[in-house]
Structure 1
Amino acid sequence: MLKIDTHQHFWKYHPVKDAWITDDLKVIQRDLLPNDVEPILPEYNISGCVAVQADQSEAENDFLLGLAEKHNFIKGIVGWVDFNARDIEERLAYYSDIKLIKGFRHILQAEPDEQYMLNKQFMHGISLLNKYNCTYDLLIKQNHLPYAKTFVKAFPQQRFVVDHLAKPNIKAGDIKGWDKNIQAIASHPNVSCKISGMVTEADWTGWKAEDFIPYLDVVFNAFGPKRVMFGSDWPVCNLAGGYAGVIKSVESYINSLAQNEQELFWGKNAVAFYGL
């Protein structure tokens, strides 16, 4: 069975550039590169990954492309461009010629304005993505979901994927509100969802696989088998059980699905969405 990890990060740690990696995240407060994860992947039959930006600069795109040249398990890259820039179309045209660049992401969850994604200039930049056959990863928290519904509705031809289930409060077992909002965004057929980032929204040291079942039920029922995909969120997942933990968090649930649905989740949906 083809298995693709749709969400890995790599970085050379810098205390200013990576200020989000605070002292309470010591486990990942260091260089973390393909050599650190590559030996782990065969244990879980993972044959490739999508590398996702962690820094908001075009230098990040070059960095990830350089890693992909040396590590062929990196099958695609979700990079970054300034969607507010006047030359946004020129930048998208430039990246559209680079086969490994599959799409883009902006760290919306960190913007002080919850409605940042609805900014007119930002939306203009997003409106150009489909022209250049680029995907868009939505990095948001559950409080952003009502705005995200309006956002994706404006671009019915654009391929969107919600990262990390929009970060519900799994640690508190809180599902109210998030469930209805995730169902609402899933009603748009151009939106998919990554089953990723769950372990770090749970109790880092005490989570159990059962904790995730209510959230998985909502997502699988809302998006259906063709719009969900696996992502580890490595190395951030090292805060809460590592790669083995991520696999454990979904394995029994996914194993209960029909064979064709398992194949879609583990790899086929990723290939179709990102054009791998």
Structure 2
Amino acid sequence: MRIDAHQHFWNYRPDTHAWINDDMHLIQRNFLPQDLQPELERHQLDGSILVQVDQNEEENLFFIELAQQNPFIKGTVGWVDLRADNIEERLAFYKSYPVLKGFRHIVQAETDPYFLQNPAFRRGIAALGKAGYTYDILIYPHQLPAAIELVQAFPDQTFVLDHLAKPYIKQGELDQWASFIEHLAEMPNVHCKVSGMVTEANWKNWEFRNFRPFLDKVTEAFGTKRLLYGSDWPVCLVAASYANVIGICEAYFDSFSAEEKKDVMGRNAVRVYGL
């Protein structure tokens, strides 16, 4: 099964989606299943993982409804306040919806450098593990040390690093990020999405060679058993088409074995998210 492990849908609202600024005007509109399905079919993908955008629980129910109506959505990653006193109760509620596979928080937007060490947040991570949910890590490179501490504290929790931790591809800054990635990948419970790279490059003037050093590092660190292809569609559209994005991944792994390609392009996502 070939899976896009990271894509989004939304009904666009300027107030709710203020992060979509005027530089990103191409995606200042609604994006829904009928927009993505032709791309998946064109590139022979069997389905996708629909990932959180808004930090509210209403979006979880919206995603669940979309998944019920569109069988190509194989799983969803939602949001819940992991710091809430009633976190166990909220997670028990979502067990009624098996299409919801995990949760994430937009940690990259948090200004508190100790957010991932917050005792209430860590209590929520512990609750995720007990309930059998994954946790997607969405951070910037400077937050990698805190993420390393987090995954070391929860060796039995399944973590998925989104977008390679958004390395500074445009600036070509590799060394410090690479060192942190090596340490993070030492924990076998962490996986990494090969996603979100084009938006960290020069949107108007990127080349395949810009991505190779970063792909080399995550492949060396995580191995092909812990990498998951993701498009980050429609966010990627500000810098590249869907064909461009999947083309980068397929071109990089072209010389790998057939089994390794199957792992990266879907089999790992099936296993990690329990599709």
**TM-score, normalising length: structure 1:** 0.98
What are the ranges of 5 or more consecutive residues in structure 1 without an aligned counterpart? none
| Aligned-residue identity in percent | 51
Contact 1:208–1:249 under 8 Å retained in 2: no
3-state SS in 1 of match to 2:163: helix
- Offset of 1:34 from its aligned partner? 0.9
Residue in 2 aligned with 1:242?
A: 241
For residues 95-133 of structure 1, the C-alpha deviation after alignment (integer angstroms, 9 at most, x for no partner) is 123110100000000011132111010100111111111
- Counterpart position of 2:205: 206
Is the Cα contact below 8 Å between 2:60 and 2:79 reproduced in 1?
Answer: yes
Unaligned runs of 5+ in 2: none
Whether contact under 8 Å (1:149, 1:185) holds in the other structure is yes
What is the aligned partner in structure 2 of residue 6 from structure 1?
5
Write the distance in 1 (CA, Å) between the matches of 2:243 and 2:172.
22
SS of corresponding position for 2:263? helix
**Aligned pairs, number:** 275
Find the aligned partners of 1:36 and 1:92 in 2 and give their Cα distance: 30
Q: How far does the alpha carbon of each residue in 1:39-75 deviate from its partner, in whole angstroms, 9 at most, with x for none?
A: 1111111110000010000101011111112111000
Across the aligned residues of Structure 1 and Structure 2, the Cα RMSD in angstroms comes to 0.8
Is contact 2:199-2:236 (8 Å) kept? yes
Secondary structure at the residue paired with 2:76? strand
Partner of 2:72: 73
Name the structure 2 match of 1:54.
Answer: 53
1:16-95 mapped onto 2 (5 Å cutoff): 16-95=15-94
Once the 2 structures are TM-superposed, how far is the Cα of residue 167 of structure 1 from its aligned partner?
0.4
Please state whether the residue corresponding to 2:38 is helix, strand or coil.
coil
Counterpart contact for 2:168–2:174, Cα < 8 Å? yes
1:12/1:31 contact within 8 Å kept:
yes
Where does 1:81-230 land on structure 2 (aligned, <5 Å)?
A: 81-230=80-229
User: Which stretch shows the higher mean deviation, 66-75 or 227-236?
Assistant: 66-75
Give 1:71's aligned amino acid: N
**Counterpart position of 1:261:** 260
Deviation above 6 Å: which 4+ runs of structure 1? none
Checking the alignment, whether the CA contact within 8 Å between 2:64 and 2:97 is kept in structure 1 is no
